[in-house]
Amino acid sequence: MPHDHDHDHNHDVPHSHEGMSSSGHPYRADQDQPLTYWQNMEIAMRELLIEKGVTTELEVMHTIDQMDSRSPADGAKVVARAWCDPDFRARLMADASEASREMGFDIGALKLIAVENTADIHNVIVCTLCSCYPRNLLGFPPDWYKQRAYRARVVKTPRAVLREFGLELPDDVTVRVHDSTADMRYIVIPARPQGTENLDETALAALVSRDSMIGVARAASPE
């Protein structure tokens, strides 16, 4: 599906009355530069919705706080549940969006797809055209995920890129690269480390890193 624009917009923008540049465009108090077209559009739409009584300033702030509070710890809980509960794992692989909602994580209208690492297959995710990312479960993407070098190279030479992250895969392991889109995101379910049979979900979740759910690392081994 085509990407019309960068999906990593900054939602934390002030009202247009906070300042004006010499060119007549509003600017943020903490930045000496004009707002972008999309930031101006967000301001206009937000203020119109508030003026019409559709929402309020407090509701907007609460929503932003909720978005900012998302972190890889949420995705790690989903992975740990899948490791411990075969029935949940089956539901996750069939419909990751619904399975995540089952755990209380709002995926919105996105189609989330879970891909599972095994002894024979290793998965890695990317967005080749911009920076689409499963923020609802993993929070903000790392800077390298958005860089053109990663986006282009991981598709062409995934083993070389993974090696740069310190992940050396055997030659007989198939590497699959999954390209995210504006309405479809992926989460990697890393292989469960050995020696974790007696760990509970909380302890297991602590072994799951953001990078392992992107696919550029393995889950950590227990100490």
First to last CA, the chain: 43
List C-alpha distances in Å: 36 to 10, 25, 43, 60.
10, 9, 11, 20
Query: Considering the domain boundaries, does residue 158 fall inside one?
Result: yes
Query: Considering the domain boundaries, does residue 109 fall inside one?
Result: yes
**Residue 78 and residue 179 share a domain:** yes
Query: Considering the domain boundaries, does residue 186 fall inside one?
Result: yes
Pick the catalytic residue from 16, 84, 130, 209.
130
Pick the catalytic residue from 100, 132, 180, 212.
132
**Residue 128 and residue 178 share a domain:** yes
Pick left, alpha or beta for residue 166 (phi over 0 → left; psi -120 to 50 → alpha; otherwise beta).
left
Query: Considering the domain boundaries, does residue 220 fall inside one?
Result: no
Is it the case that residue 21 has pLDDT exceeding 80? no
* HSE of 212, CA atoms in CB hemisphere, 13 A: 23
- Contact assessment for residue 124 and residue 117, using Cβ atoms and an 8 Å cutoff: no
Pick the catalytic residue from 127, 180, 209, 221.
127
Query: Considering the domain boundaries, does residue 82 fall inside one?
Result: yes
Predicted confidence at residue 88, as pLDDT, reads: 98
Extract the runs of DSSP E, i.e. beta strands, from the chain.
111-116, 121-126, 174-179, 184-189
**Residue 190 burial by CB count (10 A; 0-12/13-18/19+): exposed, middle or buried?**
buried
**Residue 74 and residue 64 share a domain:** no
- Contact assessment for residue 82 and residue 103, using Cβ atoms and an 8 Å cutoff: no
Count of domains forming the chain: 2
pTM of structure: 0.74
**Residue 75 and residue 63 share a domain:** no
Q: What CA–CA distance (Å, rounded) separates 69 from 61?
A: 12
Query: Considering the domain boundaries, does residue 45 fall inside one?
Result: yes
Q: What is the pLDDT of residues 171-194, one digit of tens each?
A: 999 999 999 998 999 999 999 999
Q: Over range 196-213, report the average pLDDT.
A: 97
Pick the catalytic residue from 21, 69, 84, 131.
131
**Residue 93 and residue 60 share a domain:** no
Query: Considering the domain boundaries, does residue 62 fall inside one?
Result: yes
**Residue 205 and residue 177 share a domain:** yes
Q: Which domain holds residue 26?
A: 16-68
CATH code: domain of residue 133 = 3.90.330.10
Active site residue 84: no
Query: Considering the domain boundaries, does residue 166 fall inside one?
Result: yes
**Residue 157 and residue 135 share a domain:** yes
**Residue 197 and residue 186 share a domain:** yes
Per-residue pLDDT band for 23 (boundaries 50, 70, 90) equals: very low
Vertex 187: Cα angle to 100 and 214 (nearest 5)? 145
**Residue 125 and residue 43 share a domain:** no
Is it the case that residue 7 has pLDDT exceeding 50? no
**Residue 155 and residue 86 share a domain:** yes
Nearest to 213 by CA among 172, 184, 178: 178
Lowest-confidence pick of 47-56, 163-172, 188-197? 47-56
**Residue 51 and residue 88 share a domain:** no
**Residue 47 and residue 96 share a domain:** no
